[in-house]
Structure 1
Amino acid sequence: MLVIVLDAGHGGYDLGTSGHGLVEKDLALEITLKVKQQLSQHKGISVHLTRANDTFISLLERADIANRLKADYFVSFHHNSGGGTGFESYIFPGLKGTTTAHMQSVLHKKVMAFYEEFGLRDRGEKTADFAVLRETKMPAILLENLFLDATHDAQCLKQSHFINELSQTIAESIIKVI
């Protein structure tokens, strides 16, 4: 049985970013729950969440959950702000040429193909020393699904059919890489 841990970023008093009436903690949870629903339909996959509601979970607790479950893959869901636009994915630095990097490349390309249909920008496959990537003991990726303060990005994220299709695409991408 493959174990996947999905991490809805932020939560509780930690709002994350916001813009155009969207709040990161809420949108990240919505997408995470939809991805879980999609993945749960597949036999041989056990899906776990770091949070299933609006509660605060520390970064180390998120990694500990995945490590205790001996997860095969960890996916953290976030949204960006700061004047940019588009999609980017992150893995921990120093993993070039590894399984984690290959998984990032496959997942990123598949999700980006969806975003391109809406004229959204590819900000690239990146690395960062984020705690949830550093502290997890399995391949892990952090997805920055568009900018809440960018008008076009936010307009897309406000549409339920867009969120549903994005969630399905992410779920299919996870299945493809595991």
Structure 2
Amino acid sequence: MVKIFLDPGHGGSDPGAVGNGLQEKTLNLTIALRIRDMLLAEYQNVEVRMSRTGDTAVSLTQRTNLANSWGADYFMSIHINAGGGTGFESFIHTSASSGSVNAQRIIHPAIIQQIGGVNRGQKAANFAVLRTSTMPAILTENLFIDHANDAALLRDSSFLTRIARGHVNGLVQALNLQTGGGGGGTIYRVQAGAFSSRANAEALQARLRADGYEALITESGGLFRVQVGAFSVRANAVALVNELQSKGYEATIVTA
């Protein structure tokens, strides 16, 4: 089993970078959740944990402590840049292991292939999450929130999916993941509602996001389904269902 730890940067009272009506913390979480769902749905013998799955504050120390104590095989921190530039760049630690170096060489171009734009390069920095994680690690900076053209792309849900797909493609190549979907086992999707009207699904999605949950709308069987998470371990799905139900949502687990 390959253990991948995803770290959506910032959260809670820390919005991260802001610009053009966008907040970094929200974009980071959206991208990370899509990476998680793609990995669990499409690849076998992979387990994913995250530093946060909602709009919550998590310290830098807590993020790497969670990954280290779990024994993650790879740590990936997702961010959006700011400062007047444009394009994509990635970072490993200045004293990175060969595992980090080799993975960056694979993951970085896989993301560029999906999103295009300016390639700002494969870099190294003494960032805390890279310094304190005990496994190979990378931090990605996905466009600039304060650049008008970049922000226009970051507002596009399909572009965020392309960012996520680039990360997934890189992880698959770097970690030699095999297709098959959740190790041949069941994927437990947490669904908060299903509607014949997309407008009703979007209203529920907005309510969930206001409560700090990243919800995706999918269409199948003539219905617009609002999905809040996908898990290879049923207990994790049950925990999220219980949490949502305690807040008044009619959440359920679906496996098809």
Structure 1 length as normaliser, TM-score? 0.95
Q: Work out the CA distance in 1 between the residues paired with 2:53 and 2:115.
A: 26
Q: Work out the CA distance in 2 between the residues paired with 1:90 and 1:68.
A: 23
1:176 to 170, 173, 177: 173
Is the 8 Å Cα contact of residues 20 and 145 (structure 2) preserved in structure 1?
yes
Q: Work out the CA distance in 2 between the residues paired with 1:12 and 1:39.
A: 25
2:163 to 157, 161, 166: 166
User: If each structure's strand is expressed as a fraction of its own residues, which one has the higher value?
Assistant: 2
Offset from partner CA, 1:114-138 (integer Å, 9 cap, x none): 222xxx1111101111110000000
Aligned pairs, number: 174
Is the 8 Å Cα contact of residues 79 and 139 (structure 2) preserved in structure 1?
yes
Q: Work out the CA distance in 2 between the residues paired with 1:164 and 1:13.
A: 26
Q: Which has the larger radius of gyration?
A: 2
1:145 to 142, 164, 170: 142
Aligned-CA RMSD value: 1.0
User: Which residue is 1:8 aligned to?
Assistant: 8
The alpha carbon displacement at 1:168 in A equals 1.6
Higher RCO, 1 vs 2 (CA within 8 Å, ≥6 residues apart): 1
Structure 2 length as normaliser, TM-score? 0.67
| Equivalent residues in 2 for 1:1-178, closer than 5 Å | 1-41=1-41, 42-95=43-96, 98-116=98-116, 120-178=117-175
Is the 8 Å Cα contact of residues 115 and 159 (structure 2) preserved in structure 1?
no
Q: Answer with 160-169 or 133-142: which moved more.
A: 160-169
Q: Work out the CA distance in 2 between the residues paired with 1:88 and 1:2.
A: 25
The alpha carbon displacement at 1:112 in A equals 1.0
Is the 8 Å Cα contact of residues 115 and 121 (structure 1) preserved in structure 2?
no
Q: Work out the CA distance in 2 between the residues paired with 1:166 and 1:80.
A: 14
The alpha carbon displacement at 1:95 in A equals 2.8
